[in-house]
Structure 1
Amino acid sequence: MAEYLAPGVYVEEIPSANKPIQGASTSTAGMVGMAERGPVNMPTLVTNRGEYARKFGGDLDPLIFTDGRDGLPYGAEGFFTNGGSRLYVVRIVGTNATESVLSMLARDTAIAAVPTLATGARQGDTQVVVDAAGGLTEAYANGLLLSDGTTSEMVAFDGAAFTSQVEIGGGLASLFPAASTVTVQDVTPLAAVLTANHAVGATVLTIDDVAGIAANDVLLIHGPLGEDDNSEFVTVATTDNGVVPQTITLVSGLTLAHGTDSILSTVADAAPAVATTLTAPAGGSGAAAYLTLASTAGIADGQLLMFANGPTTAYGTITRLVTVMTLAAQLANNYPAGAALTASLPVLDIHARWPGDWGNRLRVTAGSTPLVKTTIGAAAAAGATTITLATAFGLFAGSVISIGGTQTAEVAAVNTTTGLVTLAAGLTAAAAVGAAVVSGEFSLLVERTDSASGKVVESEFFERLSMASEHPRYALKVVGSWDTATDRPSDSGGSQTIRLTDNADATTRILPLVTGVPRNLAGGNDDVGTVNDTVYIGTFGNDPGARSGIQALENEPAINIVAVPGRTSLVVQKALVDHCEKMRYRFAAVDVPLGSNLEQARAHRQNFDSTRVAVYYPGLVIPDRFRQPGDRMAISSSGHMLGVYARTDNTRGVHKAPANEVIQGILGFETALTKGEQDILNPINLNCHRDFRSENRGLRVYGARVATSDPEWKYINVRRLLLFIEQSLDTGLQWAVFEPNDTPLWDQVKQSITAFLDTVWRSGALEGQTREEAFFVNIGYNVTMEQADIDNGRLIVEIGVAPVKPAEYVIVRISQKTREATS
C-alpha cells in the first residue's frame, strides 16, 4: 500500500556506520581492608586523601589492628600520593562488630522534682548522696540521667536502693558506733549572757543571771546576736546565785575562748521525745558527716541532735536531710555536688551510621529550636479540644505545643487562616488569653571528637526537627533512619554520621526533651579479633548486597587494579588472584610478607602462577605516627604500587611498564637490595624495590614482571594492555548484539575495531611502522565464520596485535678503535 505525504520537508534519521569504541579505564583501583569508619562491604569511591579521611577516617594503631589489619589506610594514602585518583574502598569489620547507640531522652513529668547530688561522686562509686529523692522510689524502673551539664551518663537503682541520712554540719569530733543513741534536742535561749571575757580552759563563767540553770544542765554558748561561728556545748557542775556577778562552774574547761555578751541557751531532750539510733558508725573526722538513722520520723532540717555512747556524748546540728541511692553499676565519671538526676524516658535511638569504635566518639546534644512562638487568642476552658492562636502558621498535624509553660498538647489539625487548632486531647487546665504557646521542635548537634586530643574534628547541626511522622521536618526523614528489620542505615538522610530510630509512643512523644546535655554514643566495636582471612575473602551471594570482603569488589565493574594492603596471608592473596581471573579484566598487586628474607621471598613468589598478578618485595618504611617522633615502621607496598600503575597509565599510557618509577611518600625499604639480589629474584618474576639514592635517583620500583610461567605474558604492561584492549572491545561492541549478522554488520564491526586499534597504535602501545605491522582485524563469511556459526548467532572476529615490550635489559657494546678506523 502506497504512503501518501503532504507537501513539506521531511527529515529521516539514518544510523551512522561509524560506531567508535571508547577505551576502558585502566587506573581505577579497588582495595579491601579495615578502616576506622565508613560503609561496610560496600565499594565506595574516593578520589583523594581528604575524601578518604572524611569517609573512612585515619590511620589504625598497629598495636590494636595487628597482623596487617592496619594496612588499608596506608595503602590508600600511598595510592593517592603516587598519582592515583579513583579508588573503591571495601571496608570490613569483625563478625560481631556493633554500631554505637544512644537513647535521646524526654523528661518524665510524673516525677516532678529533679534531685541533685548533695556531695560530689567519683568514678567507680556505687552510691550517690542526693538532697532529696524528689518523688523517686526504689520501684522506678526507667532511666535516670546524671549530668553536670558537661559530663553525663545513665544510672539505675539496685533493688531497695534508698537510704535516708542526715548531714551534720561540722561533723562529730568523736566516733560513735552503730546502735549509739540519737536524741532530738530543744534549744531554749536564756536571758543570761557572759559578763566577762573567758579564755580557753576556764571552768568558772561569770554571767548576769543564773536563773533557770541547774547542775548537770547542758548549755550552748555562742557568739553575740546568735552568731554560731564560735560556739560549744558545756555541762554545768554547780551554780552560784550570790551577789553579782553570778557564776557557774563547768565539769570541764572551755575549748574555745568566749567574749563578753556571748549568749547562753539550755539544751534538753525535745518534748515530746524523739529518739532513734545510728545504724552505721559515724563521726570522728571533724568534717561534715552523713549519718544513717534507724528512723527519720520526727527528724527535720535545723534540729540539734545529741549522740550518746555510754559516757561519751556529742551534739550536732542537722544541715539537711539527704538520701543515699545505691546504683546498679559503678559510675563511669566524676561529678560535682549539684549534678542533677533527671527521671527520663527514651524517645529516639541514635545509631552511629556504621559499626566500629569510632562511634563512641560521637557526641550528641539536643536543643530547643521551635518553629512557632505565639499566644492564645481566645480563652479556652479545661477540657477544650480546640484553641485559637494569634497565628498558627508553622504548626502541622502531629506538632507538640507547650501552653503557658504548664501543659503540653498534640495538634490534630490546623487552620492557618483562622488560627483554630484542634488538639488530640482536651486541655488539662484552662488557657488564658495571651498565654504563651511554643511548638516543640528540637535540634541535634552531632560532634565527632578526635581519639587522641578529644577535640571536635567534625560536626553536624540539624534544627527544627519533629517527632511527628506527619511533620515536614520529621527527624527520621531529615537526619536519616535506621531500619530495624534489616539492622542497616537508610541511604537517604542528611547526616553523614548518625541514623535514628523512633521509639516514642503517644505519651512520650509530647514530653519535654532533655536539652543542653552533651552525651556520647556507646557500645561501638570493630571486633578486631575476629577479622581473619575468611573475613577478608568474604562471602559470595547472588544478591550484590550479600557479598562481602573481596567478593564485594564484584559489585563495581569499573575496577581494574586491586590489592589487599597489609594482609599478606597466602590464602587471601590467592583469593584476590582468583577474583581477578573471574572478573577477567582485573590485575592484582600482592606483597611478600613483611620481615621476609631472600629465601622466604623466593618461596612466597613460587605460590603464584597467574597472568593477573604481580608480586613485590621488600616492604616500605614510613614514619610510625603512633610512637615516638623518629620511630619507623614497615608496611606493604601494594597500595603504593597501584598508585604507580595509575600514575604511569595517566602520564604515559597502560603500555608503559610501571617500573623504574619513583615511589613517593616513603622513607626507604625494609631490606636494601643490590643488583646481586635482583639477579636472583628477577628471573623468577619477583619485582624488587631498589634504593638508588646514592645515584641521586631516589627510591624506585625496579621490576615489571607478571608472576606467571607463560612467556607470552611476562611483562605487566603487556598483560594490562591486552586486558585494556579486551575490555574496551567487550564494552564497545555491545551495540552489535542482536543486529542482523550479515556483511553490513561485519563491515561496521571491522571499521570500529580498526579505528580503535589505530588509536592504540598511534599512542605507542603497538609495534610497527604501519597499521598492518601493528595489528590485523579479520571478520567475514568463510574467513572467521561458517554458516553453522551464523545459524547459532555467533559473530566471530579475529584480532592480532603486536604489543610493545619494555627494554628490560639495555646492552651497550663498546670496542676499541684507532683514529683511522671507521664505523
Structure 2
Amino acid sequence: MPEYLAPGVFVEEVSFQTKSIEGVGTTTTGFVGPTRYGPLDIEPDIITSLVEFERTYGGREQLVYSGEPMDNYMWHAVRSFFEEGGTRLYISRVYTPPDSDSSLPGHAAGFFDTSPSPLTIYSRFPGAAGDARVTLTLKAGQNVLVNDGGTPAVRSMLPRDVVWLRSKGGAPTSPPVATSPPTAPSAGFYLALYDPSSDSWRFSSTGDDFATAGVHLSDLLPAHWELRIVTTTVNVDPLASSTGEFVVADLPLDPMHQRGGSPDSLFAYFAEQPANQSRARTLPLLLLDAEVAALGTGLDVLNSLLAAAPGVRTALTDPASSAAARGLWMVMSGGSDGQRPEADEYEGQVDPVTDRKTGLMQFEDLDDIAIVAAPGSTFGYEDASYQPTAQTIIHLLIDHCERMRYRIAVIDSGNDQAIADVRAMRAQLDSSYAALYYPWIRILDPLSQQEIYVPPSGSVCGIYARNDINRAVYKAPANEVVNLALGFERFLNKAQQEVLNPEGINCFRYFEGRGMRLWGARTISSDPEWKYVNLRRYFAFLEHSIDKGTQWAVFEPNGPLLWANLRRAVQEFLLGQFQNGALLGDKPEQAYFVRCDRSTMSQDDLDNGRLVCLVGVAALKPAEFVIFRIGQWTADSTN
C-alpha cells in the first residue's frame, strides 16, 4: 500500500481487467540427428527456411560413414517440413567422430605449401562439408597520411595496424625503396604503434616496442610519402556445390588489434570462442588459440604470408594489381562425417565446465518446442545389429516428451518394413506422447534426380503445422495431402489398414482422384482416453497456455480474491476456446468447468502453500468413422 504522509492529491494506476491467458504456439518443431556440418553444443537458433538450414548445417549431399554413403535424411526432412507448411524449426546436430588421434577429429584442415606453414586453418565444425578452398587476399588500402595545417597526420588508422610506407617519388619495387626526400625513413611494411600519453605515432619494422620504433609520424611529409593500411579478405568456397560461399573483408593482421575496445583481427574473428553466438554458429573457419599465440605481431604474420607466396609481395606493393594477384590460397581437406551416431549422441550430455549441452538435452532449454522427431534414426531398423540402437533412440524421444510434458514425438517406422515388422515394432511401445507413422515416402531426390524413400516424420511435422495454422490444433492432423509424395514404399489397402489402425499405426494411403494422403491420427497409447493425436496435442496446448498465463499468481496471498481472479482468467480463456469451436457442448456450462475454492483445497494444502484449481473440458474427438445408415422407405411408411 502507498504511504500518505503529507496532504495533497495522489493519482494512482489500478487495473480493473482480468489477467488474460494467451494461447501458446503449437507448430514449433525440433529435429535431432546428423547433418553434414554445423554446431554440436551451441544452443540452437530458430530456422525458418531450407536456405537458413543449409547456411548453418550444410547441403543435401549424402553422408558417408566409414566409406558407406547414406542419404541425408535430415536435409530431406527439413525440406519436407517447410514444403508441407512448417514455419519454425530447431536443429540439434549429433555427431560421432571417426577413430582418429587428431586433436580435432573429423575437422578439415588446410595449410600453405611451405615448411613450416605460417598458418594452419581448420574447419570450425566436423564433417566432410568442411572441405573448402580458402583464399586470403591481401590489400593495401587508401592513403591515410594527410597534411593537417602543415603537420603530418593520419586518419582512419588504429593502433597495431600493419601499414605499407610508400614513397611517392619512386616506382613500386619489391621491397619498396624510397627515391625521393626525405631519406630518413625507409619504404616498407611497418607496425603502427600509438602512445596515448603523448598522443604520438611511431612505426616499427622489427616488433611492437614503442620506444625503439624507428619511424616517427613527424618524419613523414605527405608530399613525399603515403601510408596504406594492409588488411586481408577471407573467402571460403566449400567444395560441396550446394553450400554457399563465405566472404569477410578487410580484417586486420595483428592478433592484438582492437576496434572500440574489442578484438577484431583475422585471428579474433575466427577464434575458438568468437565474439557472439551468431558467429559461433555460422563461421566456417577456426584458428587455434595456441597456434595464434606463436605467430607474433601482425608484421610477423604478413612477412610469413609473403614468404609463403613471394609473388604476392610484388602485387601487394602495386596499387594497380588485381585481387587474384594478391591472393594466397589453400585447400582444406580431411573433413569426415565420422561414424553413424549412436543412441548416446541422440541423448546428449552436459559439459561440466561450460554447461553446454548436446543432443536432445539442448531442447530442454527451448520452451516453445511442441513437436520432436529424429529423421533417419530408424533407417536399417530390421538390421539386427542396429535395431537396439534405433529402439533406444525411439525411447529417448518418448522419454523426452513425457518429461517435458507439452510435446509429442513423431516416430518413423523402419524402412522397407512389412506389415508384420511394423506391428512388432509398435508392440514394444506405449505412450500417449508419441505417434507412429508407416510406411516411408517416395520422393524425387533433387541431388541425384532419382526416386528415393525418406522417413515420414519431416512431412508429418509439416502437416501438423499446416493443420494448426489453417484449422486448429484440436483438429486431427489427418486426411491431409502429402505434397512431395510420389508414392510410398507400400501401397496399403483398406483391409491392411484395418489391421494397423486399431494398434495405433498411422498409415499413408493413396486414393484415386484425391492423391497421397496421411490417413491416421492415433497415438501409440494403450489408454483409450488418449488414443488420438489431436487430443494429446490440444491438452498440451491448454496446459502449457494456462501454465504460462498464470505465473503471476505465484506468491500472491492464497485467499478468496486470488482464487476468484484465477477462476476468471481460466474461464475467459476456455470461453474463447468454446467460441472457436474447440469444445463439445451447446453452452459454456456443458463445455468446461473451473473450480478454485475451499472445495478444491484442504487446510493442509493452504498451510503448505498449495493452491488447487480444478479444470475440466469436454474436448472434441475426431470423426474417425463416418457412418451412414441407409434403408428403403416408402411414402406410406410410418418410420
Give the equivalent residue in structure 1 for 2:469: 650
Unmatched segments (≥5 aa) in structure 2: 99-104, 167-175, 177-186, 205-209, 307-311, 313-325, 379-389
Give the equivalent residue in structure 2 for 1:635: 454
Give the equivalent residue in structure 1 for 2:240: 451
Give the equivalent residue in structure 2 for 1:554: 364
How many Å separate the matches in 2 of 1:43 and 1:74?
19
Give the equivalent residue in structure 1 for 2:108: 100
Match of 1:359 among 112, 122, 130: 130
CA contact (8 A) 1:761 1:771 kept: yes
How many Å separate the matches in 2 of 1:725 and 1:443?
55
How many Å separate the matches in 2 of 1:435 and 1:100?
47
- When Rg is computed on C-alpha atoms for both structures, the one with the higher figure is 1
Match of 2:602 among 760, 765, 786: 786
Unmatched segments (≥5 aa) in structure 1: 104-152, 157-343, 378-387
Match of 2:619 among 800, 803, 807: 803
Q: Trace 1:329-728 onto structure 2 (pairs within 5 A).
A: 346=118, 350-370=121-141, 372-374=143-145, 390-404=152-166, 405=176, 406-413=187-194, 421=202, 423=204, 424=210, 425-427=212-214, 435-452=224-241, 457-463=244-250, 465-467=252-254, 469-472=256-259, 477=264, 481=268, 487-491=272-276, 496-500=283-287, 501=289, 502-503=292-293, 504-506=295-297, 508-509=300-301, 511=303, 513-514=305-306, 515=312, 516-523=326-333, 525-529=335-339, 531-540=341-350, 545-568=355-378, 569-627=390-448, 629=449, 631-692=450-511, 694=512, 696-728=513-545
Give the equivalent residue in structure 2 for 1:175: none
TM-score (norm 1): 0.63
Match of 1:753 among 565, 570, 580: 570
Q: Which moved more, 1:499-508 or 1:410-419?
A: 410-419
How many Å separate the matches in 1 of 2:611 and 2:69?
50
Tell me by how many angstroms 1:536 deviates. Answer: 2.2
Instruction: Note the aligned Cα RMSD (angstroms).
Output: 3.3
CA contact (8 A) 1:371 1:394 kept: no
Aligned residues: 566
How many Å separate the matches in 1 of 2:154 and 2:214?
17
Pair 537,468 (structure 1): closer, same or farther in 2 beyond 3 Å: closer
How many Å separate the matches in 2 of 1:787 and 1:375?
84
Which residue identity does 2:602 align to in structure 1?
E
Which protein is richer in helix relative to its size? 2
Pair 541,352 (structure 1): closer, same or farther in 2 beyond 3 Å: closer
Tell me by how many angstroms 1:462 deviates. Answer: 1.2
Give the equivalent residue in structure 2 for 1:258: none
CA contact (8 A) 1:59 1:74 kept: yes
Q: Identity over aligned residues, as a percent? A: 30
User: How far does the alpha carbon of each residue in 1:657-700 deviate from its partner, in whole angstroms, 9 at most, with x for none?
Assistant: 001111111211110000010011011111000011x2x11100
Tell me by how many angstroms 1:25 deviates. Answer: 1.2
Give the equivalent residue in structure 2 for 1:82: 84
Matched, 1:33 2:41: no
Q: Partner of 2:339: helix, strand, or coil? A: helix
Q: Trace 1:148-167 onto structure 2 (pairs within 5 A).
A: 153-156=112-115
Pair 480,802 (structure 1): closer, same or farther in 2 beyond 3 Å: farther
Matched, 1:817 2:633: yes
Pair 459,85 (structure 1): closer, same or farther in 2 beyond 3 Å: same
Q: Trace 1:169-318 onto structure 2 (pairs within 5 A).
A: none
Pair 7,490 (structure 1): closer, same or farther in 2 beyond 3 Å: closer
CA contact (8 A) 2:97 2:106 kept: no
Which residue identity does 2:609 align to in structure 1?
G
Tell me by how many angstroms 1:509 deviates. Answer: 4.6
Q: Partner of 1:390: helix, strand, or coil? A: strand
User: How far does the alpha carbon of each residue in 1:677-729 deviate from its partner, in whole angstroms, 9 at most, with x for none?
Assistant: 0011011111000011x2x1110010000101001001000111111111111
Give the equivalent residue in structure 2 for 1:21: 21
Give the equivalent residue in structure 2 for 1:44: 45
Which residue identity does 1:522 align to in structure 2?
M
CA contact (8 A) 2:131 2:239 kept: no
User: How far does the alpha carbon of each residue in 1:629-650 deviate from its partner, in whole angstroms, 9 at most, with x for none?
Assistant: 4x31111101110111111111
Q: Partner of 2:417: helix, strand, or coil? A: coil
How many Å separate the matches in 2 of 1:807 and 1:420?
82
Q: Partner of 2:131: helix, strand, or coil? A: helix
Pair 760,37 (structure 1): closer, same or farther in 2 beyond 3 Å: same
Give the equivalent residue in structure 2 for 1:289: none
Q: Partner of 1:806: helix, strand, or coil? A: coil
How many Å separate the matches in 1 of 2:582 and 2:70?
37
Which residue identity does 1:459 align to in structure 2?
F
CA contact (8 A) 1:411 1:421 kept: yes
CA contact (8 A) 1:375 1:435 kept: no
How many Å separate the matches in 1 of 2:350 and 2:71?
21
